[in-house]
Amino acid sequence: MQRIAVIGAGVIGLSVAHELAASGRDVTVLADLDPLETTSAIAGAVWFPYAAEGSPAVDAMLASTLRRFTAIAGERPEAGIDLRSGTIVERTPYPDRSWAAHLSSSDAIELPASALPAGATGMRITVPLATMSLYLPWLRQQCEALGVRFEHRAVDDVDALADDFDVAVVAAGARGGSLLGDDASVVPVRGQVVRVENPGISEFVIDDDNPAGLTYVLPRRDCVVLGGTYEEGATSLEPDPATEAAILERCAALVPAVAGQRILSRAVGLRPGRARLRIEDVPGRALRVIAAYGHGGSGMTLSWGTAERVAALLEGRRDAADGRSTTT
């Protein structure tokens, strides 16, 4: 049996580990951060393709992930996945709605101008939204139940794993390119959020093109996540007070009910920005290496589809060939 190391314990690493272990493979997750310490724990975590490429392969991954999360929401309420309705605000003349083709007609409805900010168009959609403080620990537990081992270990040299493993899957997020040493195209994209008490709202609002800055209000089971920022190349993990004040102002203008709510916590994460996803074999290594990173702001949204793609690559299945469209 192949010994597989998955490097990274965020939503991509855990999903890949689960998928491979579910098919009977010997899997160990190597990570120097616990799942709740990763960028995935900070993510907005709503099924919506943000800062991700458009391609047939990504469309297939969107559909797979939507299907898997919908099933989890219906069958495993303790996982922290809920189907929530909300508004997507559009401020461009020709918004990309290709992702909406994966939703039923009742889950993607055109909104009238009266329900939107002046001059905007938009849709009311129903999609999975994760409370990551519940979902990530649950997913780790599911992995452990399948026999996945976890080692708290920093990996700086993938080739050095060759003595103990036959395959390494690099799901290290923003660090993926530097870890492999052959990909300088990964750009950290700083995202800052504020978590506040929920005043009783149940619907989300996402306003990516807000002229004042990226704005979203995402109600979870334990809080409301207010965001955000999209700062390419910025690497500070310290929350900036001025940025926080601007986030609170934008979100209150969009959803007045969140104004003045008690702040529970604040956080910053670095998204793995890349023009195209990298899900492919990496040649010339001391063991077989598969790259699985570059998801931008769509890690949760593409997580199960990524896991299925990695499994297909390992098995040499024909459907893995579609992944070539997502690599450089």
Walk me through the domains of the chain, giving residue ranges and CATH numbers.
Answer: 3-326 (3.30.9.10)
Sequence-ordered alpha helix ranges (H) in 148-295? 176-180, 241-254
Report which secondary-structure segment, H or E, holds 72: helix 56-75
Residue 102 main-chain phi, psi, to 5 deg: -80, -10
Is the torsion defined by CA of 165, 170, 172, 174 positive or negative? positive
CB atoms < 10 A from the CB of 29, how many?
A: 28
Which pLDDT score, from 0 to 100, does residue 320 have? 54
Per-residue confidence of the chain (328 residues) as pLDDT tens digits?
A: 899 999 999 999 999 999 999 999 999 999 999 999 999 999 999 999 987 788 899 999 999 999 999 999 999 999 999 999 999 999 999 999 999 999 999 999 999 999 999 999 999 999 999 999 999 999 999 999 999 999 999 999 999 999 999 999 999 999 999 999 999 999 999 999 999 999 999 999 999 999 999 999 999 999 999 999 999 999 999 999 999 999 999 999 999 999 999 999 999 999 999 999 999 999 999 999 999 999 999 999 999 999 999 999 999 976 654 544 344 3
Which pLDDT score, from 0 to 100, does residue 318 have? 60
Measured in Å, how far apart are the chain's first and last C-alpha atoms?
31
